[in-house]
Amino acid sequence: QLQLQESGPGLVKPSETLSLTCTVSGGSISSSSYYWGWIRQPPGKGLEWIGSIYYSGSTYYNPSLKSRVTISVDTSKNQFSLKLSSVTAADTAVYYCARLEYCGGDCPNWFDPWGQGTLVTVSS
Amino acid sequence: DIQMTQSPSTLSASVGDRVTITCRASQSISSWLAWYQQKPGKAPKLLIYKASSLESGVPSRFSGSGSGTEFTLTISSLQPDDFATYYCQQYNSYPITFGQGTRLEIK
């Protein structure tokens, strides 16, 4: 059974870079049938898609965050990562990683399964 | 961006009730819609994809319908485990967007 696990610092200072890693187990991140995404949820609020990546390195980013986001993949470690630069308190959220079915080309999809999420707080 | 609007924001209901949650898209998304259930402190769980396809393992009391701009999630007979927050998500086009959520609470 595929599982995803987020990891990284739980506290980041304002203006610094948030870095998280998602480790995939029970399946290969290099499968041509899937791609991988990040979603966040501020405390008590709704869900926001951050971006997605295919094992080849092709990426899709939310325009609202694109200037600050980098998503990368490390197939040798079965991991993909998120970097969000110049963070502010508004970036405080639970960050989730998830899998999406690849539908060929430039098409989004639904998320399943999800990691358990990790809370990142931006504060000095 | 495609805006997704759910109604109601909060729904009070009793065990055994039939409930319906609505999700409206700001433009047509065909049937490219998913529904998730989220419980406090947990990740969202996929219930429905392609507007009406039930994810494997999800109880049959959950059903989805709609196309274009209006969609519904129906729970035919509420069970205690169903009290949670529900989100719709469109995947017709980037950026992927979610509804604001509907909190289903015990009356």
For the segment A63-97, what is each residue's pLDDT rounded down to a tens digit? 999 999 999 999 999 999 999 999 999 999 999 99
* pLDDT tens column, A93-119: 999 999 999 887 678 999 999 999 999
What is the pLDDT at residue A107? 86
Chain A residues close to B97, C-beta within 8 Å:
49
Residue B82: φ, ψ to 5°:
-85, -10
Measured between CA atoms, the residue of chain B closest to residue A109 is B91
Rounded-to-integer distance, Cα B61 and Cα B55, Å? 12
| Residue of chain A nearest B42, judged by CA positions | A116
The mean pLDDT values, 10 residues at a time, for chain B of 107 residues are: 98 97 98 98 98 98 98 97 97 97 95
Does A47 touch chain B if contact means CB atoms closer than 8 Å?
yes
Tokens (6 digits) for B100:
């604001």
- Chain A interface, best mutation among B91, B93, B102, by max A CB count within 10 A: B91
Least Cα distance to A14 among A90, A113, A98, A111 occurs for: A90
Residues of B in contact with A96 (CB under 8 A): 43-44
Mean of the per-residue pLDDT values for chain A?
96
Residue written as tokens 């990142």?
Answer: A120
Beta bridge partners of A16: none
User: Is B92 in contact with A49 (Cβ distance < 8 A)?
Assistant: no
Q: Which residues of A touch B100 (CB under 8 A)?
A: 46
Residue B93: list chain A partners with CB under 8 A.
108
Q: Is A3 on the interface with B (CB under 8 A)?
A: no
What's the DSSP call for residue B94?
A: S
Nearest chain B Cα distance for residue A11, angstroms = 18
- Which position has the token pair 């060929």? A104
Handedness of CA B87, A1, B93, A83 (dihedral sign): positive
DSSP state of A105: S
